[in-house]
């Protein structure tokens, strides 16, 4: 069995879904489990809908619901025009899901309050809609497809918007349900991103979590490989939307890919790697619009050469400096700082400490809990938050053997607020001013890959 996952741009319209059907048809002998995301930009629409409902902007909510209904109805009609029997059935299920959503957001709009549990239920609707339509499209093209609700399989904790699976329960569910649903079918199809708590409430695996879902299915089923189909030719040496003349990476280790994701590269969800690595399941990152390209293989470290693989960027980060009047020591400094951060689930990308100071790199998008943590830390230390900063990371095995990276960054950026080599020796990281980011990454990429 193989896992074949398609992202939002790979299922965004009739032509894209036609390519999906073509790709999967060629893999039927390998018993594919197909995992799909919401249509491109639909999750953003649903996020906006949730925000507008909380703000009690009823007219805006109705407009967004109309856009959602129109797009999915039109897609179903285009895909199933030759099968009016399937079209009627499909439209009925799509309307049922949208009507349920309409009732639910109407309730949120009425009370003007949006919990994380309610938010997860709203933003997960995109995957349920897209997978419903795509399953009918497979059947209309004479490929027997059984649709499975991922919420029956992936069981998580109650951190609804960034849920973590109970792997033991989840693995047992997947094996049992997929085994049953595959009987009499050419393939089974389910959703990425979507899960449910032990009590049956909808949860999601964090934004861009469909890759993680695919890896979980692969681990549970002992898949031969996991294929992640995107709109670029595999993993690149930098984000091609930011840097020109990037290079495709042919082979990369699990550890390097995980480090890239953690440092901001938008290729794989940061948690995708661990389930695949646990059972040594290779991951292929492929381009659905360029099927001739062999993409990137993510596999064991000994198959990946040393040296830089990619330059990753986080465009907006906070650089936090915490200074204690006492020489508490590194262990105590870390302990006191994270005693405030951890219970509030404040994400930390990089942390360094001395006897009396702690330096943190934190994603720009943090909530009120971060401010609460800073106020608590401020009772015993001086806290300074530097804004308008960016994080540049050079990733690769044994990266310290590649000379001149720090000098190059300093020479272009003008100032480096923090330089750090990751504990796993997979990345060198630099915090710089955001307004020097573009020039810095272009120059650094040129230095590494074209010198």
pLDDT at position 264 is 79
Q: Token match 């390097």: residue?
A: 256
Instruction: Please tell us whether the domain made up of 2-231 is placed in CATH 2.60.40.420.
Output: no
pLDDT in tens, 249-282: 999 999 999 889 888 777 787 788 899 999 999 9
Cβ–Cβ under 8 Å, residues 68 and 98: yes
Cβ neighbourhood burial of 393 (10 Å; 0-12, 13-18, 19+): buried
Residues of the chain with pLDDT under 70: 365-366, 451
User: Residue 238 has what pLDDT?
Assistant: 93
Cα 124 to chain center, whole Å? 14
Q: How many CB atoms lie under 10 A from the CB of residue 259?
A: 28
Contact between residue 396 and residue 402 where contact means Cβ atoms under 8 Å apart = yes
**pLDDT of 451:** 65
Q: Which pLDDT does position 165 carry in this prediction?
A: 97
The reported pLDDT for the residue numbered 267 is 73
**Domain boundaries in the chain?**
2-231, 309-449
Q: Identify the pLDDT of residue 300.
A: 86
What's the pLDDT tens digit per position in 323-338? 999 999 999 999 999 9
Q: What is the pLDDT of residue 307?
A: 87
3-state secondary structure of 4: strand
For domain 309-449, the CATH class is alpha beta
Span between the terminal Cα atoms of the chain, in Å:
43
Residue with tokens 């009925």: 92
Q: Which long-range contacts (C-beta less than 8 Å, at least 24 apart) are formed by 351-358? A: 352/418, 352/420, 354/330, 355/327, 355/328, 355/329, 355/330, 356/323, 356/324, 356/325, 356/326, 356/327, 356/328, 357/321, 357/322, 357/323, 357/324, 357/333, 358/320, 358/321, 358/322, 358/333, 358/334
Q: Give me the phi and psi of 322, to 5 degrees please.
A: -120, 120
What is the 3 state secondary structure string of 397-442? ECHHHCCCHHHHHHHHHCCCCEEEECCCCCEEEEEEEHHHHHHHHH
* Residue appearing with tokens 């990152």: 285
* Model pLDDT, residue 50: 98
- Residues in contact with 422: Cβ distance below 8 Å, sequence separation at least 6, in sequence order: 259, 428, 429
User: How many whole angstroms separate alpha carbon 214 and alpha carbon 223?
Assistant: 10
Alpha-carbon distance of 133 to 136, in angstroms, equals 5
């Amino acid at each position: 069995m193989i896992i074949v996952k398609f992202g939002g741009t790979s299922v965004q319209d009739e032509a894209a879904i036609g390519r999906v059907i073509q790709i999967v048809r060629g893999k039927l002998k390998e018993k594919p489990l197909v995992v799909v995301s919401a249509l491109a930009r639909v999750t953003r629409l649903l996020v906006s809908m949730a925000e507008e409902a909380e703000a009690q902007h009823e007219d805006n909510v109705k407009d967004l619901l109309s856009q959602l209904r129109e797009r999915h109805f039109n897609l179903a009609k285009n895909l199933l025009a030759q099968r009016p029997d399937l079209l009627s059935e499909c439209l009925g299920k799509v309307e049922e899901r949208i009507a349920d959503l309409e009732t639910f957001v109407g309730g949120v709009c009425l009370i003007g309050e949006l919990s994380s549990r309610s938010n997860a239920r709203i933003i997960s609707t995109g995957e349920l809609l897209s997978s419903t339509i795509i399953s009918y499209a497979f059947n209309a093209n004479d490929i027997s497809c059984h649709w499975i609700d991922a919420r029956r399989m992936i069981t998580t904790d109650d951190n609804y918007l960034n849920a973590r699976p109970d792997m033991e329960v989840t693995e047992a569910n997947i094996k049992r349900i997929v085994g049953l649903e595959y009987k009499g079918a050419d393939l089974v199809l389910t959703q990425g991103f979507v899960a449910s708590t032990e009590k049956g409430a909808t949860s999601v695996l964090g934004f861009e979590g469909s890759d993680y879902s695919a890896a979980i299915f692969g681990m549970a089923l002992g898949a031969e490989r996991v294929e992640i189909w995107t709109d670029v030719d595999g993993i690149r040496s930098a984000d091609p939307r930011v840097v020109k003349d990037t290079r495709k990476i042919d082979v990369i280790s699990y550890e390097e890919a995980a480090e890239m994701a953690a440092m901001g590269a938008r290729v794989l969800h940061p948690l995708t790697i661990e389930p695949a690595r646990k059972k040594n399941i290779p991951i292929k990152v492929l381009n659905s619009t360029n099927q001739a390209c062999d993409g990137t293989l993510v596999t064991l470290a000994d198959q990946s050469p040393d040296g830089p693989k990619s330059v990753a960027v986080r465009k907006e980060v906070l650089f936090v400096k915490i200074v204690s009047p006492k020489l508490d020591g590194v262990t105590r400094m870390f302990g006191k700082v994270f005693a405030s951060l951890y219970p509030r689930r404040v994400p930390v990308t990089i942390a360094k400490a001395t006897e009396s100071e702690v330096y943190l790199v934190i994603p720009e998008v943090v909530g009120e809990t971060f401010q609460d943590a800073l106020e608590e830390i401020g009772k015993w230390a001086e806290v300074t938050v530097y804004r308008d900063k960016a994080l540049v990371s050079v990733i690769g095995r044994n990266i310290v053997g590649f000379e001149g990276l720090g000098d190059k960054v300093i020479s272009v950026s003008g100032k480096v607020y923090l330089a750090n080599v990751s504990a796993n020796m997979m990345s060198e990281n630099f915090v710089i001013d955001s307004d020097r980011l573009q020039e810095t990454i272009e120059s650094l990429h040129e230095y590494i890959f074209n010198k």
